[in-house]
Amino acid sequence: MLVREAMSTDVVTVNSDADLRSAAKTMLQHGVGSAIVTHQGNPVGIITETDALKAGAVTNRPFAKIPVRKIMSHPLRTTRPTATVRAAVSKMQGESLKKLAVVDGMDLVGIITITDIIRNHETLLKHAVSLDQHRSRWESDR
């Protein structure tokens, strides 16, 4: 299965000049745990609930005074829509990530998260079984 078949295309974004309060409001309004941070329309980082919690724990500043660009995770970890979900999972595991931005060139086209992968678990399992059956037939024909 390819990333484009499992990813979410409704990506929540915030500008790098935004403050943490407005970013948190945006995330809450959309019911998501993260937002891709953009600068001049290009994806440059990600802000997560964890980033917000860390910022709140280490400073006495109000969220409205904390710029997103100062606390976002960057560089943005990405994958391509044509990559396999298996490759995306491997990258997530290797880098201890829960989500990857999906980019086509410099264009943000989606996001793939652990939730997306779990949601597609049955399809992925069927695909793996099918591949295994094909491999078994191929090996018996040799």
**Per-residue pLDDT tens digits for 23-40:** 999 999 999 999 999 999
- The structure tokens listed for 68 are 């997103």
Task: Please tell me the predicted confidence (pLDDT) of residue 134.
Answer: 62
Answer yes or no: is pLDDT of 137 > 80. no
Q: Tokens 């919690």, residue?
A: 53
Answer yes or no: is pLDDT of 2 > 80. yes
List, in order of start, the domains of the chain with CATH numbers: 3-141 (3.10.580.10)
What string of DSSP letters covers 68-133? HHHHSB-SPPEE-TTSBHHHHHHHHHHTT-SEEEEEETTEEEEEEEHHHHHHTHHHHHHHHHHHHH
Contact 85, 124 (CB under 8 A): yes
What are the pLDDT digits (tens) for 60-117?
899 999 999 999 999 999 999 999 999 999 999 999 999 999 999 889 999 999 989 8
